[in-house]
Amino acid sequence: MTHPASPLSLGPDQARTRLQEFTVIDVRTPAEYASGHLPGALNIPLDHVRRALPEIRHAAERGDVLVVCASGARSENACKLLAEEGIATATLAGGTGAWAAEGHDLHTPAACETRSAWSMERQVRFTVGTLVLLGLALGLLVHPALLLISAAMAGGLVFSALTNTCGMAVVLGKLPHNRPRAADLDAALSVLRTR
């Protein structure tokens, strides 16, 4: 079995100079997308990429596709998934974080300009930290066996680092504020069909 090659990775300046040539797909959650995205980016969260394969394939047949996320990890995973399906894409090295750090504009939908959203990384850090503290408090105040909550969180962090996956992000991605509304996803797929 052959494995697809690593996706082409473009730095923010490289991507900016060619931005008009790309169909840009942002694989972050809708809340993250709403907090700021590359100009013209379409939001197709990572867990919906398989559903969007026909539309992404259609767009890729007509031009280059750039996949972005917050740091580059989810977009690289999306690019690998798409490569397995025979769809060539590029990823933005460092994601929207690197894009903004180099002084490039991020756009926000008009309806979301006053809404603040936490990145998935921040949501994961908050949740894991809360569960570690809760496990420590319950272990000291209720029963020592409850310290296993903290141990499980530590084990999950190690597993996450070793596999470059994040189960907590998958779970948090299913919360209502992180889920795309059907109309938003359908609109993004419709735009891809017309590319």
Query: Which residue, chain included where needed, has tokens 């996956």?
Result: 165
3-state secondary structure of 140: helix
Helical ranges in the chain per DSSP H: 12-17, 30-34, 53-62, 73-84, 95-101, 120-141, 148-163, 167-172, 182-194
Give catalytic residue positions.
69
Whole-number Å distance between alpha carbons of 7 and 101: 22
Q: What are phi and psi of 92, to 5 degrees?
A: -90, 110
